[in-house]
Structure 1
């Protein structure tokens, strides 16, 4: 259902940097609405490598990507952000110091400022070219990401792909599901340790390997899946009984409509002022991987810093004429849930 939203800051992108921007804006009493093309928050951390450890987050010698997103969501929760997921921003207009954003689902968002935290841009899964795919996608029989591994307990799961996501989920699900791994060649592109553990699991009979095979078709009633048809390059086929197909062929990434907003692009990235993350459009800011400036490092921790700088630069736009006195969170504290009302549809 389309929503009409009034808020202070519209954030495009619900990855780790976008989530931290909610916290930084909230600490300055600014409400946020967050839009993302994916159906879940977390960006690439959720879609590509939820169980991969990240080693360069301060105070965490190692933290799984999914755990990082869960903690960032909790950190933002006191400021009750409104999440608009499974849609992307297609239109951006400005009049009298207020921005109006329109989404692919028909939502209208009005905000005093915009933060583009879209990573490398809006992205979606690379879908296999299989007949009747849409019906199985709609039922959840074919998926491109895993939100809850428990959903696959006792199920027959075919996993296709040769990268980290495919291997990680095969290892994660082998203890609760009957897993068949499909790849077109014996060598996997995953981290060496993960690939070694996959080989060991296959040797113990914990994972069935279908190599060298590729996806050829789907069997079922158009909604409920019963099997996945595989084929070699020589045309030899076999059918693997399956309740679910998890296809991990990476994501197709593009800036999409953002590329046509006149933001001053630099090789599909948005050029910003380093000290504030302002773009060429007053009131629009860019942070995270999408932002470009001299000395930029594509690290999550640098994106966190950019979120803080952008929030402070936005404050006078939301509260014109109000002096902002910088305070440390240790002395200011965090407002209790409900103290900062998040963006909500009116009515």
Structure 2
């Protein structure tokens, strides 16, 4: 028998931005259901790098991704949003004020508005084109995510890439890994300027070795046990880097899955939204976080938080057309007591 769920707003994606959207909706006394294909909340923060420090969350000079998710879960807890985990939303039918979403587990969610907070959609790592790669993936010699820094204690680590993940993990593994070598094809990194400056200072102190300008060329080892990473410079010269683990950070491949077939306006695999409300081209369907795009968009969690608040306020008149919304600061009204925001 199909399970029927009634709620004000369905949130597709239970990463940090989706969790904050549930809180913002609760503050407006709107109920919500969080739906995610992963088996636990937190999105990439939980699945890929729970111990990775995040430095640009207001009020937290540094906070590990897993701790951020735990805080967001506590923050939304008073509103008791339902969670449907390990499910993928397959269908979206209806119009603003009367949508029905169907999952691959057979649930049917009826709601008045939808928030798409699906991050990069279904994600997977971009793998380097190296011969014999799969053998080292299976043995742990090549890893695309770091769930526990302690797993790399005393290991010789080679990090490849030039973005935030490569720089942040090079910094985070200092004092844990036996050695850290960072391979990049050019001196300039596509990372936060302060993080890149910290990496430069770490290299000057000998905490990290910069292998520039080089790129990955081959892997060497026995029976899947990594022993060295071969790198090549732009002229074809090669050298071997002793290594127990290679961490290649070349971004994530993005697949919107069924969302891509819902007739929403797209721009390079992202959903185009109105900046003031985060509404997509389909009335009543909103997109926030990494999945959304508009002029001036920054792919920062803090911007996703702002989008969650804007979307929630834009949704209120859809769900409660006869109730005037008088904006109040949370310092004045606190968390609504006895809220009726729980779905049913």
Is the partner of 2:271 in helix, strand or coil? strand
Change in CA separation of 1:198 and 1:302 when aligned onto 2, cut-off 3 Å: closer
2:31: which partner in 1? 30
Hey, what's the Cα distance between the residues in 2 that align with 1:163 and 1:5?
43
Contact persistence 2:21–2:312 (CA under 8 A): yes
What value does the CA root-mean-square deviation take over the aligned residues?
Answer: 4.5
Hey, what's the Cα distance between the residues in 2 that align with 1:292 and 1:330?
31
Hey, what's the Cα distance between the residues in 1 that align with 2:61 and 2:128?
34
Q: 2:53 aligns with which of 43, 51, 54?
A: 51
Change in CA separation of 1:277 and 1:147 when aligned onto 2, cut-off 3 Å: same
Hey, what's the Cα distance between the residues in 2 that align with 1:255 and 1:279?
15
Taking structure 2 as the reference length, what is the TM-score of the superposition?
Answer: 0.71
Q: State the Cα deviation string for residues 126-170 of structure 1 (Å, max 9, x = none).
A: 111234544654565533233332332233322222333212211
1:114: which partner in 2? 114
Residue 271 (structure 2) pairs with residue 287 (structure 1) = no
Hey, what's the Cα distance between the residues in 1 that align with 2:230 and 2:336?
55
Counterparts of 1:302-313 in structure 2 under 5 Å? 303-313=304-314
Q: Larger deviation: 5-14 or 167-176?
A: 5-14
Hey, what's the Cα distance between the residues in 1 that align with 2:255 and 2:20?
23
Is the partner of 2:130 in helix, strand or coil? coil
Hey, what's the Cα distance between the residues in 1 that align with 2:56 and 2:79?
26
Q: State the Cα deviation string for residues 182-212 of structure 1 (Å, max 9, x = none).
A: 4144614145554454455445443345453
Is the partner of 2:253 in helix, strand or coil? strand
Taking structure 1 as the reference length, what is the TM-score of the superposition?
Answer: 0.71
Is the partner of 1:308 in helix, strand or coil? helix
Change in CA separation of 1:100 and 1:140 when aligned onto 2, cut-off 3 Å: farther
Change in CA separation of 1:290 and 1:150 when aligned onto 2, cut-off 3 Å: same
Hey, what's the Cα distance between the residues in 1 that align with 2:118 and 2:339?
27
Contact persistence 2:24–2:309 (CA under 8 A): yes
Hey, what's the Cα distance between the residues in 1 that align with 2:138 and 2:326?
49
Return 5+ residue gaps in structure 2 as ranges. none
Q: State the Cα deviation string for residues 21-41 of structure 1 (Å, max 9, x = none).
A: 011123325132142679872
1:289 to partner: Cα distance? 5.1
Change in CA separation of 1:275 and 1:230 when aligned onto 2, cut-off 3 Å: closer
Hey, what's the Cα distance between the residues in 2 that align with 1:229 and 1:42?
31
1:291 to partner: Cα distance? 4.1
2:178: which partner in 1? 178
Change in CA separation of 1:177 and 1:109 when aligned onto 2, cut-off 3 Å: farther
1:236: which partner in 2? 238
2:221: which partner in 1? 219
Contact persistence 1:17–1:304 (CA under 8 A): yes
Q: Larger deviation: 123-132 or 163-172?
A: 123-132
Return 5+ residue gaps in structure 1 as ranges. none
1:94: which partner in 2? 93
